Chain A
Amino acid sequence: MDPISTQQPIPVRDLLPALLLMTFLLLAVYLVQFDNGAISQSGSFLHELMHDGRHLLGVPCH
């Protein structure tokens, strides 16, 4: 097996778009799914739909 140390690191300028986009994705999912009104004050349908997931993934809930 080739040791990974022969792998050259990917330059940061090529990584930035992906890192930023994925961070926004994570924030979006957090707001839709987990926020209990602390930040988003969002509507309730998706929030209620994912109620059980929120509890079982261990996010603070009511």
Chain B
Amino acid sequence: MTAGTCSASPATNGFPDIDMVWTLVLRGLVVGVLAGLLAGAFAFVIGEPLVQDAIDIEEAGSAHASLQFVPAHISEWAVGRDEQRGGLFLATGLYGLAIGGVFGAIFATLLGRGRERSPYQLATRLAGALFLAIVLVPFLKYPANPPAVGNPDTIGDRTVYYVVLLVGSALAMLAAARVAWSVPEDAVPWKRPLLAGGTFVLLAGLLFVALPGVSEIPGDFPAQLIWEFRLSSLGTQAVLWAALGIGYGIASYRAAMPSAAAQRA
């Protein structure tokens, strides 16, 4: 079986279905790394100067209301700032790899089960839905913060809240997708988006309200810097997910077409 050619037709010649799954996952891993590196480039250009500004403030200690939190920070670390700037690409590349692999596996699962008209549409819609569920919703409740913001003593709790919201929001999106797929094809055009959107907003909204808030920004930390850093962080994720959705849609286009195997046979 040629890599890149797959069909979910009955398994008469070996294991075409499982070959197809690994083909789709492999493409997710590759596109994910590339999307991660692209997001890393965005973060390096747009976000890094803001990270450095925040570290400068932290090291100076002037803008931190509670200096007892600081000593465990950057200047005492073994890894220097230059390495951390380079490590940014390692971080976004690894993140992209993992997200891309999971994306490919979910794509393979949804293929033929949803209502999409083409593999490209499935890829871009899936990326959009996942960005909304696991990036935007957690970001709105627990937005990214630059260095020098955040109490190290509460990092355990904050990580748990963040992960609970992320997982819960992903489950809310799954529930919304199931509602969407249950609406018949011949329903009025607004029925599906309203029911599915309402399901997501209701479930994610409940989580949003139920989880505790976090308010740890020192009073004298520059608001402008926080705002710009948060925008750059959201932009980094947006670049990654847009590149993943579009890139995966292109990379999987032939592999995921029902007629691909038939055309090559």
Contacts and interface: CB of A to CB of B under 8 A. Distances in A.
Contacts, number: 207
22 contacts: A1-B117, A4-B118, A4-B122, A8-B8, A8-B112, A9-B112, A10-B8, A10-B21, A11-B17, A22-B25, A26-B99, A28-B98, A32-B94, A50-B91, A51-B147, A52-B84, A53-B90, A55-B146, A56-B236, A57-B144, A58-B233, A61-B150
A62 B147 contact: yes
B156 interface: yes
Contacts of A49: 79, 83-84, 87, 90-91
B35 interface: no
A25 B155 contact: no
Interface stretch (B202-210, B242-250, B251-259): B251-259
Contacts of A37: 155-156
Interface in B114-173: 114-119, 121-122, 135, 138-139, 142-147, 150-152, 155-156, 158-162
A9 B113 contact: yes
Given A52-B48, A52-B85, A57-B95, A9 B159 contact: no
User: Contact size class for B?
Assistant: 35 or more
Interface string A11-27: 11011011101110110
B159 A10 contact: no
Interface of A: 1-12, 14-15, 17-19, 21-23, 25-26, 28-30, 32-33, 35-39, 44-45, 48-62
- Which one of A32, A37, A38 has the greatest number of beta carbons of chain B within 10 Å? A38
B91 A25 contact: no
B18 interface: yes
